[in-house]
């Protein structure tokens, strides 16, 4: 970490803290907690998985609509940090509230989860856009990949503590229920996420922005409309977003619904938690490896590699029957999940004009989130129609194939084929907020 600046490290620390949400809430403890609550209420496994998919779809749809609008406003001086702080606090507070929701109210658990998901994803829109403020084009692959890597490492600490509390629950050393232990895990996650948000809030500043002007909201809508009219001038950018829409759909769906899928296969909760922990550990060095290989071979080549790995994952998941198969699947995912997300973020950040980065990351978010609507919705509907979640996972193969075909038509950033953008008033400005 010595080779990174104070701003780069502060930016990375947010990934260190926020990633605790990703594993404890999004992937591991909460899905198991929710599935148990739904089962106790008499909801079938297929239906509870479907309802989780619908909750994810609704929350991501809401944010997909807000992303481009808020991103366009955030291009003006001072707004990026405010929006980042607001969404972060929403996610952190909602995570803490899970501690106090009775486990017999599975519907309220889902509603709270939706607020957490909106806070998490919303903060990430502006967190990702801050990449252009904390580093330069030549270091983006390295910084983005390292952020994902330390995020995986950081997430394992509260995860280990949470697992220990849950496994010891009910024993003489810790005479509390598993329900109480899970709720403590939620509170630890909120504290961890909040603590490591502070360096980002204190040390990172918006260096690329537009000067404030009268009627900011009205002008933001005007600038958003102008961007949509000028899509042909941004062909490379929007072609990449289209490719990203398809392949990230599969990535996000596999990550968010893997635990529910494992539960439906009959894998024990303890085994799932251990598998997810090892996945985090393995993913960290592979994320850094992707960053280094991208500097050597190009970001696009490594994106191809990651997509191909996920195609293999989808095919393998269709035939998965045992805990050993789930181990194999998890390790395959670990090799590429961080790398493909980190390089996508860096690839896009190098393509967009920096003073309008928030606006374009708003579109990045909308493609990401609408993809996240489609994937879980597809798995949910398929699970209910067929009674087998594996059919939904297998169907994701076509999305990866379409994504890689479109990506082949996207030029590398810096080749001169990606057209830049000038603000609606030509007021490109740089400075500190």
pLDDT of residue 329: 86
3-state secondary structure 387-426: CCHHHHHHHCHHHHHHHHHHHCCCCCCCCCCCCCCCCCCC
209's enclosing H/E stretch is strand 208-210
pLDDT of residue 212: 67
Map out the domains of the chain with their CATH numbers: 6-205+232-413 (1.20.1250.20)
Place of tokens 């296969």: 265
pLDDT of residue 12: 92
pLDDT of residue 415: 52
Per-residue pLDDT of the chain (433 residues; tens, 9 = 90+): 677 889 999 999 999 999 888 878 877 788 888 888 888 888 887 788 788 878 887 887 787 777 777 777 777 777 888 899 999 999 999 999 999 988 778 889 999 999 998 999 889 888 988 888 888 888 888 888 888 888 888 888 998 898 889 888 888 778 888 888 989 999 999 999 999 999 999 998 888 766 666 766 676 667 667 766 665 667 888 899 889 988 888 887 777 667 666 777 777 777 777 887 888 788 889 988 998 898 888 889 999 999 999 999 888 877 877 778 888 888 998 898 888 988 998 888 888 777 677 667 777 776 776 666 676 676 667 767 776 666 767 777 888 999 999 999 988 776 544 333 333 333 333 333 3
- Cβ–Cβ < 8 Å for 240, 419: no
Apex 212 CA angle, 209 and 216, nearest 5: 110
- Alpha-helical runs (H) found in 75-105: 79-97
pLDDT of residue 97: 94
Distances (CA, A) of 329 to 133, 254, 336: 36, 10, 12
pLDDT of residue 230: 61
232 burial class (0-12, 13-18, 19+ CB within 10 angstroms)? Answer: exposed
pLDDT of residue 420: 39
Instruction: Find residue 174's DSSP bridge partners.
Output: 171
pLDDT of residue 429: 31
Report the C-alpha dihedral over residues 109, 110, 111, 114, rounded to 10 degrees. 120
Closest CA to 82 of 378, 433, 418: 433
């Amino acid at each position: 970490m010595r080779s990174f600046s104070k701003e780069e490290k502060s930016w990375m620390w947010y990934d260190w803290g926020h990633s605790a949400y990703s594993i404890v809430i999004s992937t591991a403890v909460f899905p198991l907690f929710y599935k148990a609550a739904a089962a106790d209420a008499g909801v079938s496994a297929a239906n509870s998985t479907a309802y989780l998919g619908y909750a994810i779809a609704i929350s991501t749809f809401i944010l997909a609509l807000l992303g481009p609008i808020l991103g366009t406003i955030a291009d003006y001086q001072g707004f990026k940090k405010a929006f980042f702080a607001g969404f972060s606090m929403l996610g952190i507070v909602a995570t803490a509230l899970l501690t106090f929701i009775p486990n017999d109210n599975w519907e309220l658990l889902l509603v709270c989860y939706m607020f957490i998901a909106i806070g998490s994803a919303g903060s990430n829109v502006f967190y990702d856009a801050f990449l252009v403020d904390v580093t330069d084009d030549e270091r983006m692959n390295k910084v983005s990949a390292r952020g994902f890597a330390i995020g995986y490492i950081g997430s394992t600490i509260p995860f280990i503590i949470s697992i220990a509390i849950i496994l010891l629950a009910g024993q003489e050393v810790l005479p509390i229920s598993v329900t109480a232990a899970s709720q403590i895990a939620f509170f630890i996650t909120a504290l961890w996420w909040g603590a490591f948000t502070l360096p980002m809030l204190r040390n990172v500043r918006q260096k690329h922005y537009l000067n404030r002007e009268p009627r900011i909201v009205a002008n933001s809508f005007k600038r958003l409309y102008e961007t949509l009219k000028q899509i042909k001038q941004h062909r490379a950018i929007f072609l990449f977003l289209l490719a990203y829409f398809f392949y990230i759909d599969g990535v996000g769906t596999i990550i968010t619904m893997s635990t529910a899928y494992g539960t439906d296969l009959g894998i024990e909760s303890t085994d799932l938690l251990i598998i997810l922990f090892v996945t985090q550990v393995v993913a960290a060095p592979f994320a850094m490896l992707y960053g280094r290989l991208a500097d050597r071979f190009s970001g696009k080549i490594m994106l191809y590699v990651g997509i191909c790995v996920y195609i293999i994952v989808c095919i393998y998941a269709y035939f998965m029957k045992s805990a050993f198969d789930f181990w194999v699947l998890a390790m395959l995912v670990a090799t590429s999940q961080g790398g493909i997300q980190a390089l996508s973020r860096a690839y896009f950040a190098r393509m967009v004009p920096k003073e309008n980065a928030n606006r374009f990351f708003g579109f990045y978010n909308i493609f990401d989130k609408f993809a996240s609507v489609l994937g879980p919705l597809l798995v949910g509907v398929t699970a209910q129609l067929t009674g087998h979640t594996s059919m939904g996972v297998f169907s994701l193969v076509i999305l990866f194939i379409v994504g890689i075909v479109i990506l082949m038509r996207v030029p590398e950033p810096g080749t001169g084929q990606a057209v830049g953008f000038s603000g609606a008033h030509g007021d490109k400005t740089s400075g500190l907020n």
